[in-house]
Amino acid sequence: MIPAQLDFASLAAAYRAGLKPRDLFRHLLRLAQDDTRQAWISLLPEERLLALADALEGRDPATLPLYGIPFAVKDNIDLDGLPTTAGCPDYAYQPAESAVVVARLMAAGAIPLGKTNLDQFATGLNGTRSPFGACRNAFNPAYISGGSSSGSAVAVALGQVSFALGTDTAGSGRVPAAFNNLVGLKPSCGLLSSRGVVPACRSLDTVSIFTLSAGDAAKVFAAAAGYDAADPFSRPLQAHGRGFPAGDAFRFGVPRDDQLAFFGDTINPALFAAAVASLVRLGGQRCEIDFAPFLETARLLYGGPWVAERYHAIKDFIERQPESLFPVTREITLAGGRATAVEAFAAAYRLRELKRSCDAVWSELDLIITPTAGFQPTIAAVEADPIRLNSDLGYYTNFMNLLDYSAVAVPAAFRPDGLPFGVTLFAPAHQDIPLLELAARWQADSALPLGTSDGLATVEPGLAVDPTAGGRVRVAVCGAHLSGLPLNWQLTQRGGRLISVCRSAPDYYFYALAGGPPQRPGMVRVNEGGSAIDMEVWELPSERFGDFVAGIPAPLGIGKVRLEDGSEVCGFICEGAAVPSAEDITAFGGWRTWLASRSS
């Protein structure tokens, strides 16, 4: 039986119950052929599609992470067997092979249904700039779908595929997600190979992922990501830093009220305020930030020489056949041909300055939340005013790749008019996995329907991100390394961040060791008669943990400390030989309390 929703969990359950891949893909092909939203440009021939499905017969689904998962490919990404048009029929070519990212997904068991509509040459955030027709919103066909990855988002929202590939240069993988009630992962640039992708701004482009849930996005990301030595812009995933597991506090930034823009929309401001409150409910601490440098960075994208990259990407074609381009696309692209090298250097220098200002927030914040888009216009409105409205749609998105950040767009609410509203969570590069972890918790908390479905699906409550695998080590401190005390700088200067204030399990004797300054405490674990000790848990980059430990003088060392919740982390322990000359301060329950008793 074909499931009503195509999230990965529902589809896996259907396969276990006896659904054959051939039956699923024959059904999905019929849905896609009835294309009332103009989401598709081309579909794989039925014979080839069913051959791919039949090839899964007899395979153990456990051996393929994306077994029988249907997906769509934005038509600026090569798929063997179908032409790549980039939204321009005269530009079309027949690729010799699929793009690297497509090949990796197919090797994991996923099957592509076809190629989706887009703003021509990925130039636009609205989905109307296509000779194949304006792609229509999945909830209300009078409204824009968002772009440029328009058809990819609509196909997922309508239940025609489980996930889709888009691209994102200025917001194309996030705005369509917000307008169609989807998760949109804009990975850190370079983590997904761009070989086999028609570039827009090659130095900024990234392949993006649309799914119904954050957990599904994480599975696609895991299968698709990987260093590609043949792609000069590829890079491996680095240590991502901290995660956002339930119970951990985190700090998030919100632009000042006077820097939020909704472009005349009177409903979305309250929905964004509610979204901020939801993040607080998940354990976040709201911190107001100055959004000005982010906004100035956004203005560089189309006011600076990066438009020249769009011109460079199709220079030979646009000079030879300018009439083949959609009028507004031609106007924007040709403007890039007038940029000078002097302007390029000036913009590059200013970007360095702005990035320094923007990056300064990460010493105090774990992520930032914004609306994904402040408003959602109708197709008619965009066609009447294509440049200004498209620019307004990029208010919260255009800076992201210039600053080299990772981002996840997540559904936040439904408006009274039935249209969805979404927000974006973003953080520095390589934070993709932690952001998806938080997005999964967000979805579990919000309990919104997936895509255009009527019912709810089970959303994974978390992705269990391992801080060690992410290049962070947690260490519990109980003495002079506590916040505000003399040795705390040894943590902060190594990039440490405070995770929690807690207590140990009631299994320790606590001593003030002889010597100093500063005087140091010693914790000794005992089988009975111990007490709980006040502690802080900090997180250090893995590469700085070794030199931190190397500086710890005897009789102290690092071992495993059990916390009050039963978990164990690295923490300070003391050699038993130091106990006879130490003062037993267990009764005070903590270093600060003992220090206060001495000064009173």
Q: What's the pLDDT tens digit per position in 507-522? A: 999 999 987 777 889 9
Is 460's pLDDT higher than 70? no
Element (H, E) at 570: strand 568-574
Average pLDDT of 377-390? 97
| pLDDT tens-digit readout, 13-44 | 999 999 999 999 999 999 999 999 999 999 99
Average pLDDT of 397-407? 98
CA 598, CA 600: separation in Å to the nearest integer? 6
69-107 in b/e form (b: 16+ CB < 10 A) is: bbbbbbbbbbbbbbbbbbbbeebeeebeebbbbbbbbbe
Beta strands 367-371; 420-428: pairing state: antiparallel
List alpha helices for 413-530, DSSP H.
Answer: 432-446, 489-492
Q: Is 589 left (phi over 0), alpha (psi -120 to 50) or beta?
A: left
Is 468's pLDDT higher than 90? no
| pLDDT tens-digit readout, 116-140 | 999 999 999 999 999 999 999 999 9
Percent of the chain with pLDDT over 90: 81
Average pLDDT of 531-558? 89
Same fold: 8-446 with 472-599: no
420 near 154, Cβ under 8 Å?
Answer: no
pLDDT interval class at 463 (50, 70, 90) = low
- Give 306 or 151, the one with higher predicted confidence: 151
pLDDT interval class at 461 (50, 70, 90) = low
Beta strands 70-74; 111-116: pairing state: parallel
- Give 285 or 520, the one with higher predicted confidence: 285
Percent of the chain with pLDDT over 70: 96
179 near 143, Cβ under 8 Å?
Answer: yes
**Least confidently predicted of 302-316, 331-345, 427-441, 456-470:** 456-470
What's the pLDDT score for residue 497?
79
In CATH, 472-599 is 2.170.190.11? no
Average pLDDT of 472-494? 91
What's the pLDDT score for residue 242?
64
CA 329, CA 313: separation in Å to the nearest integer? 13
CA 313, CA 332: separation in Å to the nearest integer? 13
Question: Considering 10, 42, 74, 149, which one is annotated as catalytic?
Answer: 74
Token match 């919260």: residue?
A: 396
460 near 213, Cβ under 8 Å?
Answer: yes
Average pLDDT of 420-435? 95
Is 265's pLDDT higher than 90? yes
Question: Considering 42, 130, 145, 148, which one is annotated as catalytic?
Answer: 148
Is 458's pLDDT higher than 80? no
Average pLDDT of 357-375? 95
Average pLDDT of 58-70? 93
pLDDT interval class at 429 (50, 70, 90) = very high
CATH topology of domain 8-446: Amidase signature (AS) enzymes (3.90.1300)
Q: Looking at the DSSP assignment, which residues form a beta bridge with residue 163?
A: 71, 211
What are the CA-CA distances from residue 488 to residues 6, 341, 417, 523, 547 (Å)?
Answer: 50, 47, 52, 18, 15
| pLDDT tens-digit readout, 303-361 | 768 999 999 999 999 999 999 998 999 999 999 999 899 999 999 999 999 999 999 99
167 near 46, Cβ under 8 Å?
Answer: no
What's the pLDDT score for residue 470?
56
What's the pLDDT score for residue 524?
92
Element (H, E) at 175: helix 175-179
What's the pLDDT score for residue 292?
98
Task: Indicate the average pLDDT of the chain.
Answer: 93
Name the residue ranges covered by the structural domains of the chain. 8-446, 472-599
Does the predicted TM-score (pTM) go above 0.75? Answer: yes
What's the pLDDT score for residue 471?
65
What's the pLDDT score for residue 455?
63
What's the pLDDT score for residue 529?
87
How many helices (H) does the chain have, and how many strands (E)?
19, 19
Q: Looking at the DSSP assignment, which residues form a beta bridge with residue 34?
A: none
Average pLDDT of 267-273? 98
Structure tokens at 319: 């000079």
Specify whether 172 is catalytic. yes
pLDDT interval class at 578 (50, 70, 90) = confident
Length of the chain: 600
Question: Considering 150, 162, 172, 193, which one is annotated as catalytic?
Answer: 172
- Three-state secondary structure call for residue 163: strand
Question: Minimal CA–CA distance to 191: which of 404, 470, 468, 369?
Answer: 404
